[in-house]
Structure 1
Amino acid sequence: MDNEEVSRLLERYPNGPKVYFQTLGCKVNSYETDAVRILFESRGFRTTTDPRDCDVCVVNTCTVTAEADRKSGQMLRRAKKLAPRAVVAAMGCRTEMRKAIDEADVCVGTVDRAGLVDLVISRLFERSDDPDSVLTNEHRSRMAKFEDFGPVISREGTRAFVKIQDGCDNYCSYCIIPYARGRSRSRSEESILHEIRCLGEEGYIEIVLTGINLGAFGKDSENAHDALTRLLKKAESTENIRRIRLGSIEPQMIDEAFVRTIAESSKICRHLHVSLQSGSDSVLLRMNRKYNIKHFAESIALLRESMPNIHLSTDIIVGFPAETESEHRESLLFCEQAGFSKIHVFPYSVRAGTVAADMQPKIDSATKSKRKGDFLRLSEDLHIRAAEEMLGKIVSVLVEEQNHGMYSGYSKEYFRVIFSSGSVFESGSEAQVQITGLSDETLTGIAHER
């Protein structure tokens, strides 16, 4: 459908059709929603925040857990209920895993999302009475490249997310994402750096490089060796950008070149989220993770040898099939010794279609709840210990909110900080703060006046 035909159809809406967006799941999903929003607006649509007053409702779905899948379906049904005359469009991972979605009028999966606007317009003007098709994994062989939307500038938040990679080839036994997202594919370095420059020109000072599996970035390119390290060095030279973060990384990424790049940088934040999932070798083997505890310990030791002040967080799955009490205790002990500043804890959830779904025996809910509690208590203790080490230090805080002379935001080490100041700091600006206290896992302080 060419632009002239679209313009003619949209004349029925003097101010443009209104489109409402709802996103479930990860930061990559949020980025993709922003990208699709920009596509809609470029074609004459107006974004609305009212789900009851829209002509189109786009739900970006998630299927990482059975609960996320259920909520996605719930959101689609709710959209139909709130705006019965609207075109309901489903996109994302849940759509990819289903041949048809009864709750939606229009569907696309995790490829060719740029085609969603045309599908919606066709449906909006009743060019077809049949449900519009889903572009799913059966077509992925011809969609082997990264889907590049160009610069994506969000309207929300003080830090900007930059998607650099999609898909995953790891096939962990519990994870449905490789089936939903397809093979790993990388965005071009040139395109990434262009977006980062645009974000700097828009006033952002912090970016977060994100993807489904950051460790696979560049592996599908001709010059795969140290691709992420090279990208980080070039991103650091971007004007206006003063803080660079990485999304979740794998221990296999951590080598001497990677560590040296971070250690020598004044912009890359001294906080990394390194995915562990279990501190037991036998559980890691059943999970089909590509490392063992010795390798993980050596990786984080390499980081701390060069950067003693670096802070690390991680993910843990409790109650994985056949996990014994001994394996659980082994995992707890390893996490305590590793000294993470934060542990994100998830009870294992059966995901149909994965290898782990058929593993036995399953762990009962009460045991999973208890084990989750064990890790949450450990995480709280570790976080307080790490936060106490910040007392008396001067840290850089990205300001997010302000209220009557009190400001809040996050330090480069990813601690939440509340501070007072006689000066005025705008949201998205940076403040130097002397840490004077700790309250409910939040650092407190006063602006450091130079």
Structure 2
Amino acid sequence: MNATLAEPQVISLGCRLNLAESERIRGILAGERDVVVVNSCAVTGEAVRQTRQAIRRARRAHPDARLLVTGCAAEIERAQIAAMPEVDGLVANSAKLDPRAWNTAPAARAETTLHTRAFVAVQNGCDHACTFCVIPQGRGPSRSLTIEQVLREVETHLAQNAAEVVLTGVDVTSWGTDLADRPLLGTLVLAILDRFPELRRLRMSSLDGVEIDPLLLELFASEPRLMPHLHLSLQHGHDLILKRMKRRHSRRDAVDLIANLRTRRRDLAVGADLIAGFPTESEEHHAANLSIVHELGIVHGHVFPYSPRPGTPAARMPQVAHGEIKRRAAELRTAVAASRNAWLAALVGKPLEILAESDGTGYSPEFARVQLPSSTPRGAIVTVTPGTVDKGLLQ
């Protein structure tokens, strides 16, 4: 006999926005029994494969549960996901935070947060048309929360003892473009910092560097509570490929941005999304992708082997051979790993303020992972001076 799930299980794939939304879904479904939700991703073909795999795994683990799927894969691959025998129903991406879509009444928020850091989705959707991307099809146009709505979300998380807040979205730097007075993202960040002096750490998720406004740039450079961790939606290091991707920045834009910030904030840690093997990518283009890892000092790298998505312009361009894509992705990951290892080694012997997780580790302001004493309570911020690095972990 299979045991009934006493509380809903929400499986989150993909981006930080999905993670934030999964927490909201879990709250909406609080009190429901024997329900499994897969909050899916469709950013690449591999992401869709992993979504299908997660659905099958969830059904094997909970054969009698009601299994519902939402998220981008459930929107973009709607017919295919709905046809899976494991799936009992789909919830539209645009409706997944509406309790009515789940046929349940709004649940009271939990008394304690489930994470040491709270993800606040300040924006959803995207108005851009990158040639490789299907996410606008799954998320729709850009929509922003108002400043007051964001402040209420942050206040709720602080009341639940969150030590760090992460602002997230599909295209975070487009926040405010759909609001009446078209405020810029820096205005929102400053409002949060001013309203909540007790907030110790504010972190930004992936940003489009060319759209960072002057106030946000100033806050990154000078505000100690805004974490020195800038993750760029970079995608590539060669201008021709960036043009064919229909990105809005050049390589020089990214280089100048990081150089400008590092003159004022030496501890800035840079992350970036990079795509390997984009259609028409030559060895010269790939070499530029590799070299920008070193030039920017990228230590948090998300490397994506290109996979064509039906209906996108890039899928109709001349494709790079699959084996070449895998090789180039591996070389990019090796370059990022070397940059990361050198960066971690440079942090040895330096006192770091670490936010403790539940697994005996924690993260520095720069998002370096650090081993902590087993007695460190979850959510505490403690000072640690690491003495060595072992397998990517400061100890």
TM-score higher than 0.5: yes
Of 251, 271, 282, the match for 2:240: 282
Deviation of 1:17 (Å):
7.7
Q: Distance in 2 between matches of 1:232 and 1:296?
A: 21
Q: Distance in 1 between matches of 2:77 and 2:140?
A: 14
Q: Give the residue type in structure 1 aligned to 2:251.
A: I
Question: What does 1:97-136 correspond to in 2, within 5 Å?
Answer: 97-100=76-79, 101-103=82-84, 104-115=87-98, 120=103
The residue aligned with 2:231 is 273
Deviation of 1:151 (Å):
7.3
Q: Distance in 1 between matches of 2:346 and 2:188?
A: 32
Query: Alignment length, in residue pairs?
Result: 387
Q: Distance in 2 between matches of 1:247 and 1:153?
A: 25
2:28 is aligned with 1:45: no
Q: Distance in 2 between matches of 1:392 and 1:164?
A: 37
Which structure has more relative contact order (CA 8 Å, sep 6+)? It is: 2
TM-score by length of 1: 0.79
Deviation of 1:155 (Å):
4.6
8 Å CA contact 1:397–1:433 kept in 2: the answer is yes
Q: Give the residue type in structure 2 aligned to 1:381.
A: A
8 Å CA contact 2:293–2:339 kept in 1: the answer is no
Alpha-carbon deviations, 1:127-148, whole Å to 9, x = none? Answer: xxxxxxxxxxxxxxxxxxxxx9
- The gaps in structure 2 that reach 5 residues or longer are none
Deviation of 1:168 (Å):
0.7
- Secondary structure at 2:93's aligned position in 1? coil
Question: What does 1:223-238 correspond to in 2, within 5 Å?
Answer: 223-226=181-184, 228-237=185-194, 238=196
Alpha-carbon deviations, 1:265-311, whole Å to 9, x = none? Answer: 12111111112111111111111111111112122122112212211
Of 406, 416, 425, the match for 2:369: 416
Of 6, 9, 17, the match for 1:28: 17
Alpha-carbon deviations, 1:115-166, whole Å to 9, x = none? Answer: 5655557xxxxxxxxxxxxxxxxxxxxxxxxxx9997988533111111000
Deviation of 1:98 (Å):
4.1
2:390 is aligned with 1:433: no
C-alpha spacing 1:329/1:154, structure 2 compared with 1 (3 Å): farther
Of 37, 40, 43, the match for 1:58: 37
2:262 is aligned with 1:301: no
Q: Distance in 2 between matches of 1:246 and 1:98?
A: 30
Of 128, 151, 163, the match for 1:193: 151
Greater Cα shift, 189-198 or 382-391:
382-391
8 Å CA contact 2:231–2:271 kept in 1: the answer is yes
- Secondary structure at 2:325's aligned position in 1? helix
The residue aligned with 2:337 is 380
C-alpha spacing 1:401/1:33, structure 2 compared with 1 (3 Å): closer
Q: Distance in 1 between matches of 2:107 and 2:289?
A: 41
Q: Distance in 2 between matches of 1:152 and 1:168?
A: 31
8 Å CA contact 2:171–2:207 kept in 1: the answer is yes
Q: Distance in 2 between matches of 1:257 and 1:149?
A: 38
Deviation of 1:439 (Å):
2.3
2:264 is aligned with 1:325: no
The structure with the largest alpha-carbon Rg is 1
Percent of paired sites with the same residue: 31
Q: Give the residue type in structure 2 aligned to 1:102.
A: A
C-alpha spacing 1:268/1:119, structure 2 compared with 1 (3 Å): closer
Q: Give the residue type in structure 1 aligned to 2:179.
A: S
The residue aligned with 1:69 is 48
TM-score by length of 2: 0.90
Alpha-carbon deviations, 1:229-284, whole Å to 9, x = none? Answer: 11111212314320110000111133432221222312111111112111111111
Q: Distance in 2 between matches of 1:372 and 1:433?
A: 34
8 Å CA contact 2:131–2:244 kept in 1: the answer is yes
Greater Cα shift, 217-226 or 200-209:
217-226
8 Å CA contact 2:255–2:295 kept in 1: the answer is no
2:175 is aligned with 1:217: yes
Deviation of 1:322 (Å):
1.1
Of 284, 299, 311, the match for 2:269: 311
Q: Give the residue type in structure 2 aligned to 1:63.
A: A
Q: Give the residue type in structure 1 aligned to 2:330.
A: G
- Secondary structure at 1:257's aligned position in 2? helix
- Secondary structure at 2:356's aligned position in 1? strand
2:90 is aligned with 1:90: no
